[in-house]
Amino acid sequence: MASPLLGLLTLLLLQPMELFAWQDYKDYKLYELKLEGAVEQNLVRKWSQEKPSWDFHEPSRNASSLKVMIPPEEADGFIETLRSYHLEYKVLIEDLAPLVRAQRAENLKKKLLIQWPHIDVLAAFYTHAEINDYLDSLPARFPKRVQLKQFGWSYERRPLKVVTITNGDGRRNKPVILIDGTVHAREWISPSMALYVIQQLLDNYVDNQELMLDYDWVIMPVVNADGYEYTHTVDRYWRKSRRPTSNPDCIGTDINRNFGYEWGHDEGSSSDPCEAIYRGERPFDQPESQVLRDVMLHYGGRLNFYLSLHSYGNYFLLPWGYTSVFPDTYQDMMSVADAGAKAIIYSTNGIYSYGSTYYVLYPTSGDTTDFALGVVNATVSMTMELPAAGFQGFDPWVSHIERLVTESWVGVRAMAAEVIRRYPA
């Protein structure tokens, strides 16, 4: 039956995203800028404010270069500006479109082979709905060891779920290790890593049981569900939430600037809805931030290790982000980071830098890690920036997943073991 319906169906199968105005990144370019010192750093900061469409990857304090993605209509002006400041640059990628398309095709092809609801974390990147289906399947498979709880909804009403994993001995109120993922939508290795941790604790119990003897694990693989879904359906490089702002041209808030501890400093966040680090109108005005806050507070009195999974950069970032002053327990937290860094370098030769966010990376204000320490009193609070992969850094190919998550697990496992050793139940 050669009907229009069939034609539509074929179109849907071949180009599923055209119908939803898929951002194809045609002729978008990726540049690398040389950064010589504070002068360039300040220029980049100024340009991020004035030109939100120049998508700078945030420069870390000591970086000697940084990447920036530029839309085709801005390319001439961008180059002119660089030249006028005598900044050195090189073009890394002339046209992002074929690469974005190839990654998308690779992932969709891999997913055809999956036997639902069993998912192979190493075989593909999954959508929020697919991850939720997988989480939903766990209590039946591990009735004594898994508890699944929905803590709320995203702005677009996606259910936000949290899984608690125990060894099933029935002992209540053990100290907790809380791991979250996907606060930033485009950092796709983050949900994969959260899922890998779940699979290690459940399917590889024999090797990991000592990690659950006196501690429970609480894992929220996707915080920014709307943003994450949007990276699968419309725009692969979306970072923020999806709630509209006071500016009709700019959508979304950086959930990692929206938390209510030392919120609102201009050093480390922005009041401009068009910027990547927009903090929102008020602390916790994003439903996703409220949900993660509630999860933290729920486990408050026994939160011994809070770990937020991001990418990229190979960092263990400790509080504070908002100030150059160190927290009282800084050295204790450093010992935990040190255990993670050592374990990784011994196993794969991967090198992590660690220290306070303010010094190691850049100032941040209103982020989850500062809140976990400042308000929830987590014993150890940390952001882990997983390694760069792919062409931008947060866009690994499916074939990279295994290397990234197995290496990262070595670090997470070692840090959990160190927390358990230092703070026995």
Min dist CB 140 to ligand 0X9, Å, is 34
**Residue the block writes with tokens 């150059």:** 324
Q: CA-CA distance, 174 to 163, in Å (whole number)?
A: 15
Min dist CB 187 to Zn ion, Å, is 5
357 binds ligand 0X9 (CB under 6 A): yes
Q: For residue 79, what are the CA distances in angstroms to 51, 85, 199?
A: 14, 10, 47
# of chain residues touching ligand 0X9 (CB under 6 A): 16
User: Per-residue x/- mask for Zn ion, residues 310 to 329, rule CB under 5 A?
Assistant: x-------------------
232 binds ligand 0X9 (CB under 6 A): no
Catalytic residue of the set 40, 385, 407, 418: 385
Burial of 22 (0-12, 13-18, 19+ CB in 10 A): middle
Sign of the four-CA dihedral 385, 212, 291, 162: positive
Binding to ligand 0X9 (CB under 6 A) within 46-75 occurs at 58
Q: Find, among 149, 166, 233, 235, the residue nearest to 201 by Cα.
A: 166
> How many Cβ atoms sit within 10 Å of the Cβ of residue 339?
21
240 binds Zn ion (CB under 5 A): no
Rounded to the nearest angstrom, the gap between the alpha carbon of residue 258 and the centroid of all alpha carbons in its chain is: 15
Respond yes or no: is residue 385 known to be catalytic.
yes
321 binds ligand 0X9 (CB under 6 A): yes
- Residue 154 or 314 having the CB closest to ligand 0X9: 314
Q: Strand, helix or coil at 264?
A: coil
- Residue 160 or 185 having the CB closest to Zn ion: 185
Q: CA-CA distance, 366 to 260, in Å (whole number)?
A: 6
Q: Which stretch binds ligand 0X9 (CB under 6 A): 61-69, 194-202, 324-332, 357-365?
A: 357-365
395 binds, among Zn ion, ligand 0X9, none (CB under 5 to 8 A by kind): none
User: Per-residue x/- mask for ligand 0X9, residues 168 to 187, rule CB under 6 A?
Assistant: ----------------x--x
Binding to ligand 0X9 (CB under 6 A) within 74-133 occurs at none
253 binds ligand 0X9 (CB under 6 A): no
Sign of the four-CA dihedral 400, 315, 222, 138: positive
167 binds ligand 0X9 (CB under 6 A): no
Min dist CB 213 to ligand 0X9, Å, is 29
Residue ranges in 55-127 assigned as alpha helix (H):
75-84, 97-111
Cβ-contact 250, 353 below 8 angstroms: no
Binding site residues, ligand 0X9, CB under 6 A: 58, 184, 187, 256, 310, 317, 319, 321, 357, 361, 364, 367, 369-370, 383, 385
What residues are annotated to the active site? 385
